[in-house]
């Protein structure tokens, strides 16, 4: 009885922490500041160093495991990085459908701790971007915040684009528009399409085999049921199983109060990608083996259809590795940034 009451108190505390994190991140975006968010305690890296170098572990409702790190893993990752030697140290993070810039909060903190520049963008009608999702009618309209940002880059300045989920189609569109401004493109459990293909086409490759996705989708008809859907929402009760099956509870709670519907029309839009523009940008893919939204079989199908320069696999990652494997994702992003020009 006492244990049950304790669990309820802990669950309530987790919900409060998630709400606070969402509010803090919104303030962070409005003010252009940098917030020292806590790291997830789900991080698993080999221990290194002596006791005198150990750092206090962050508070958690999970008991400490013998495999937990005594050093912050990003300290080991960042110590060999010479930022001045990189082609660019500026990451631009593009979220997936229904998400917002808020979902990258761990990745932002880890990269900034290492001295990298990070820009996480809210796409139109996403995160705290005040636009009605149901009114978005095209991919260019949806990705306009990224387009505006890249257009303002100084001559000769380059960035590393990182796209998650539907953000993969969004960064592909950017690669076609601004190939000279993109040093590398990283697809994280993302839609990596071929020319003439839409994101809906990509999902249709597997037919109706993803029953969980089909059950979770809620189509919204702002123009009436006799017109095409205007947006897609997800059943909150299925979010954890679909997107966050390996993620910490507090991050699932954060997502449940922060996610918004994604516009439907951009999903139907077929991309026009040329070898001269899109094909000139170095591409990398990060697979997520425990993914229930874009199963690894579908990820590999996209990889085989349009092979990138290199493929990485995040062992144990669900569809949202910025939550489930933040340290390992950070390590891969840094590794990709260090790869020299070929």
Q: Where are the domains of the chain?
A: 2-29+89-192+201-338
Cβ atoms of 239 and 255 within 8 Å: the answer is yes
Of 3.40.50.720, 3.40.50.1370, 3.40.50.1820, 3.90.79.10, the CATH number of 2-29+89-192+201-338 is 3.40.50.1820
Per-residue model confidence (pLDDT) at position 12:
57
Strand pairing category for 90-94 and 117-121: parallel
Integer CA distances (angstroms), 201 to 15, 78, 169, 191, 219, in order: 37, 39, 12, 10, 18
> Distance (Å, rounded) from C-alpha 288 to C-alpha 291?
6
pLDDT at 29: 54
For residue 86, the model assigns a pLDDT of 81
Query: Would you state the pLDDT for residue 47?
Result: 35
The per-residue pLDDT for 40 is 37
Q: Which residues are catalytic?
A: 165, 291, 319
- pLDDT given at position 5: 54
- pLDDT for 254: 96
State residue 20's pLDDT score.
56
Q: State CA 165 to chain mean position distance.
A: 7
**Bridge partners of 285?**
187, 311
The pTM of this model reads: 0.78
CA distance 40 to 220: 34
| Closest listed residue to residue 163, CA positions, set 99, 112, 218, 117 | 99
What's the CA gap between 267 and 138, in Å, rounded? Answer: 9
∠ CA 112-332-64, rounded to 5°: 80
pLDDT at 18: 60
pLDDT of residue 35: 42
How many Cα atoms sit within 13 Å of 277 on the Cβ side?
Answer: 15
Dihedral sign (CA 320, 37, 311, 70) = negative
The ranges of the chain with pLDDT < 70 are: 1-81, 206-209, 342
The reported pLDDT for the residue numbered 10 is 58
What are 246's two structure tokens?
């390996």
């Amino acid at each position: 009885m006492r244990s049950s009451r304790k669990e309820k108190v802990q669950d309530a505390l987790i919900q409060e922490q998630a709400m606070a994190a969402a509010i803090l991140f919104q303030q962070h975006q409005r003010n252009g500041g940098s917030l020292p968010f806590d790291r997830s305690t789900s991080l698993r890296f080999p221990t290194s160093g002596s006791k005198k170098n150990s750092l206090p572990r962050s508070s958690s409702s999970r008991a400490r495991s013998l495999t937990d790190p005594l050093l912050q893993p990003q300290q080991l990752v960042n110590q060999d990085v010479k930022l001045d030697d990189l082609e660019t140290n500026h990451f631009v993070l593009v979220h997936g459908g229904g998400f917002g810039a808020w979902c990258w909060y761990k990745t932002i903190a880890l990269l900034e701790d290492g001295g990298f520049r990070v820009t996480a963008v809210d796409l139109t009608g996403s995160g705290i971007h005040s636009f009605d999702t149901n009114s978005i009618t095209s991919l260019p309209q949806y990705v306009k915040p990224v387009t505006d940002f890249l257009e303002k880059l100084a001559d000769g300045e380059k960035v590393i684009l990182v796209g998650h989920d539907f953000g993969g189609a969004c960064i592909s569109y950017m690669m076609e528009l601004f190939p000279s401004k993109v040093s590398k493109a990283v697809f994280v459990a993302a839609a990596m399409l071929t020319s003439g293909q839409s994101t809906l086409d990509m999902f249709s490759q597997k037919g109706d085999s993803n029953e969980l996705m089909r059950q979770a989708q809620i189509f919204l008809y702002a123009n009436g049921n006799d017109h095409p859907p205007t947006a897609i929402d997800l059943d909150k009760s299925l979010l954890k199983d679909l997107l966050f099956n390996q993620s910490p509870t507090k991050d699932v709670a954060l997502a449940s109060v922060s996610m918004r519907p994604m516009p439907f029309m951009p999903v139907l839009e077929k991309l026009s990608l040329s070898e001269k523009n899109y094909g000139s940008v170095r591409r990398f893919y990060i697979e997520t083996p425990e993914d229930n939204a874009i199963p690894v079989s579908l990820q590999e199908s996209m990889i085989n259809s349009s092979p990138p320069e290199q493929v990485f696999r995040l062992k144990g990652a669900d569809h949202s590795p910025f939550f489930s494997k933040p340290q390992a994702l950070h390590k891969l992003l840094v590794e990709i940034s260090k790869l020299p020009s070929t």
